């Protein structure tokens, strides 16, 4: 019998947790690229702390008008992209991201009601940005490549982002 490679396995045969992780990390990468932040690498290789990671290059990006909002959008993008393929948010899987979001939001506002409103507004914005057709195509392309290769360079992520015509 002929041996199958990862390329031969249909998407349905992929472990659902791995697929969710690939979309989660692709969401972070695409949002970062959309906001002008270069990527170092993206991986779905787990370690003791994470199921995957999107490493953003430090100090090599254009200043934005609202750095704090950009950071929050990048953090929300993982959970948002994952929910597009699983049908629900997974706060457990995004717990590190959600803690980071809360920390950033508390830098901007303090009352619990204000915190919740700002988080909701930025979650809605992340959803809106990722559901753009070209942007979502970039998420799908990066996630597919992560399912094949497990780790991709920032350069490869940029290539898939550019190919999606975002």
Catalytic residues: 25
Listed in sequence order, the residues at least 6 apart from 146 whose beta carbon sits closer than 8 Å to its beta carbon are 22, 25, 26, 42, 43, 44, 52, 152
What lies within 8 Å, CB to CB, of 115 at 6+ separation is 102, 105, 106, 109
Q: How far apart are CA 72 and CA 103, in angstroms?
A: 10
CB within 8 Å of 18: residues ≥ 6 apart: 44, 147
Minimal CA–CA distance to 130: which of 58, 75, 65? 75
| Cα–Cα distance measured from residue 75 to residue 65, given in angstroms and rounded to the nearest whole number | 18
């Amino acid at each position: 019998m002929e041996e199958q490679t990862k390329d031969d396995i249909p998407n349905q045969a992929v472990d659902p947790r791995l697929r969710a992780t690939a979309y989660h990390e692709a969401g972070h990468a695409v949002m970062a690229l959309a906001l002008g932040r270069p990527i170092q690498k993206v991986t779905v290789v787990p370690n003791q702390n994470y199921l995957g990671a999107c490493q953003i290059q430090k100090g090599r990006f254009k200043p934005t008008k609202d750095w704090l909002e950009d950071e929050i959008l990048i953090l929300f993008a993982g959970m948002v992209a994952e929910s597009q393929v699983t049908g629900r948010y997974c706060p457990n899987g995004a717990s590190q991201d959600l803690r980071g979001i809360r920390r950033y939001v508390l830098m901007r506002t303090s009352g619990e009601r204000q915190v919740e409103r700002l988080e909701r507004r930025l979650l809605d914005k992340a959803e809106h940005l990722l559901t753009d057709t070209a942007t979502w195509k970039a998420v799908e392309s990066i996630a597919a490549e992560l399912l094949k290769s497990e780790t991709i360079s920032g350069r490869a992520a940029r290539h898939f982002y550019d190919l999606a015509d975002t």
